[in-house]
Amino acid sequence: MGIKACLEDKGIMQLKLKGKKQMRNRKRIIIAMMAAGCICAGGCGIKELSSEILTVVESMTATSEEAAAAPEEEPPTSPADTARPPETDTAALEAYSAALEAIFSQNIWPDGKEIDEGEYKAGGFSGNKFAVCDVDGDGREELLLNVTSASMAGMFESVYDYDPDTGTITEEFRAFPMITYYDNGIAKCEWSHNQGHGAKLWPFTLYEYDSDTDTYVYRGSVDSWDRDLAAEGFPSEYDADGDGTVYFLYDDENMTDSTTVDGEEYQQWLDSFLTGGEEIRIEWKDLNEETIKM
Ligand SMILES: [Ca+2]
Ligand SMILES: [Ca+2]
C-alpha cells in the first residue's frame, strides 16, 4: 500500500483544512501522522518512502492556492501537530536506510556492532525481516530487525532508534523474535522455550516503554501449569475455578519468586497492562540487498 492509499485509509486525506496558514499546518500533520505510524502500514521501502513523502507534500502545496480563498476555520489541535518536525524524520529514514545497507556492505548491525558471520550469514542470511514503524508510541519511527538466520540462542528481534542529536542509532530493545507490540507502549515477548507444565498458555514476559530512558523496562512474566500435562504435585489449592490450570506471576526480572494465582487473577494482571492498548500491525519486509534498495 502506498503512502497516499495509507493516508486515505486513515482518513487523513479528508481533513478539511482551508487557508494558507492551515495549509502549513496540514503539511505538518501529514508528515507527523506518517511519523506516528502510518509509514509502517505502507508497503514500500525507505527510499521510496522519502520520495513519496515529498510527492504528497508537494501535491498538498499545489492545491493550497485554491484553498486559500475559502473561509478561515479554527486551526487543528491534533497532538500530531506538535510532533517532531519533518526534516528530522527524513534524517531518521536516511539513517535507517544507510544502516540496512551497512548490514551487507560493512557486516555491522544498525547499532554498529559487528555481525558474527558464522552465526548469522553461514546459512545464507535468509528469512530475516525489517520494518520501519513507531512501535514504542513516542511519535517517531524505529527500525526493527527480525533475525532468525541463526541458532535458537542467536535469534533476536531488535528495535533501533535514531538519535537526531548525535546522528547515531542505538538499540532500545531486544528479545526473542516473538514479540507483539501494543500502542500503549507494552511489548509482549513470548519465551523461546516452554519448559514448564503449561501447554494452553505459552509463557511470556511483558515490557513497557519508558520514554525517560528510551528503553523498555520489565513489568512481569507469566507461566502456567496444566494438571492434564503433569498431575503429580499440581497445586490444586490454587485452582479455584477447577479448570485444571494455575498461573505463576513473576514480578522481578530474575524470576526467583513467583505468585501462584488462578485464571481470574491472571486475567486481571494481563488486563492491567493491555486494556486500552491496540496491537500494532507491523508490515515486515524481507531483509536482502534488493528490498533495502527500493
Ligand atoms: Ca517510536
Ligand atoms: Ca484454574
Least confident of 19-33, 75-89, 247-261: 19-33
**Which ligand is the nearest neighbour of the Cα of 141?**
1
Segment 190-219 mean pLDDT: 95
Q: 223 C-alpha vs ligand 1 centroid, how far in Å? A: 29
At 88, the pLDDT band (50, 70, 90 cuts) reads low
How confident is the model over 147-201, as pLDDT tens digits? 999 999 999 999 999 998 999 999 999 999 999 999 999 999 999 999 999 999 9
Instruction: Calculate ∠ Cα 185-133-165, nearest 5°.
Output: 85
Q: Are 145 and 130 in contact (CB under 8 A)?
A: yes
**Which ligand is the nearest neighbour of the Cα of 267?**
2
What average pLDDT is seen over the chain?
A: 79
**Which ligand is the nearest neighbour of the Cα of 262?**
2
Q: What is the C-alpha to C-alpha distance for residues 41 and 132, in angstroms, rounded to an integer? A: 9
At 89, the pLDDT band (50, 70, 90 cuts) reads confident
Q: 193 C-alpha vs ligand 2 centroid, how far in Å? A: 22
**Which ligand is the nearest neighbour of the Cα of 247?**
2
Q: Smallest Cα–Cα separation from 188: which of 216, 229, 225? A: 216
Q: 195 C-alpha vs ligand 2 centroid, how far in Å? A: 19
**Which ligand is the nearest neighbour of the Cα of 209?**
1
SS (H, E, C) 42-72: CCCCHHHHHHHHHHHHHHHHHCHHHHHCCCC
Least confident of 39-53, 88-102, 169-183, 252-266: 39-53
Output the pLDDT for position 136: 94
Output the pLDDT for position 49: 44
* Higher pLDDT, residue 90 or 205: 205
**Which ligand is the nearest neighbour of the Cα of 246?**
2
Segment 108-123 mean pLDDT: 95
* Higher pLDDT, residue 20 or 124: 124
Sheet holding 129-133, edge to edge: 168-175, 156-163, 142-147, 129-133, 285-286
Q: 263 C-alpha vs ligand 2 centroid, how far in Å? A: 5
Helix 46-62 / helix 86-105 crossing angle, nearest 10 deg: 160
Which CB contacts under 8 angstroms, 24+ apart, belong to 187-190? 187/135, 187/216, 188/274
Q: 12 C-alpha vs ligand 1 centroid, how far in Å? A: 20
Q: 266 C-alpha vs ligand 2 centroid, how far in Å? A: 10
**Which ligand is the nearest neighbour of the Cα of 265?**
2
Q: How many C-beta atoms surround the C-beta of residue 256 within 10 A?
A: 7
Q: Which three cell numbers stand for residue 150?
A: 541463526
Q: 267 C-alpha vs ligand 2 centroid, how far in Å? A: 11
Q: 280 C-alpha vs ligand 1 centroid, how far in Å? A: 12
- CA distance readout (Å), 125 to 58, 82, 155, 294: 39, 40, 12, 19
Output the pLDDT for position 74: 54
Q: 224 C-alpha vs ligand 1 centroid, how far in Å? A: 32
Q: 268 C-alpha vs ligand 1 centroid, how far in Å? A: 28
* Higher pLDDT, residue 6 or 148: 148
**Which ligand is the nearest neighbour of the Cα of 132?**
1
Q: How many C-beta atoms surround the C-beta of residue 63 within 10 A?
A: 11
Res 259 pLDDT > 90: yes
Segment 277-283 mean pLDDT: 96
Find cell 489541535 and name the residue: 77
Where would I find the beta strands (DSSP E) of the chain? Answer: 129-133, 142-147, 156-163, 168-175, 179-181, 186-190, 204-210, 215-226, 245-250, 259-261, 285-286
Rg value, the chain, Cα:
23
Least confident of 37-41, 72-76, 133-137, 143-147: 37-41
Q: 155 C-alpha vs ligand 1 centroid, how far in Å? A: 23
Q: 275 C-alpha vs ligand 2 centroid, how far in Å? A: 22
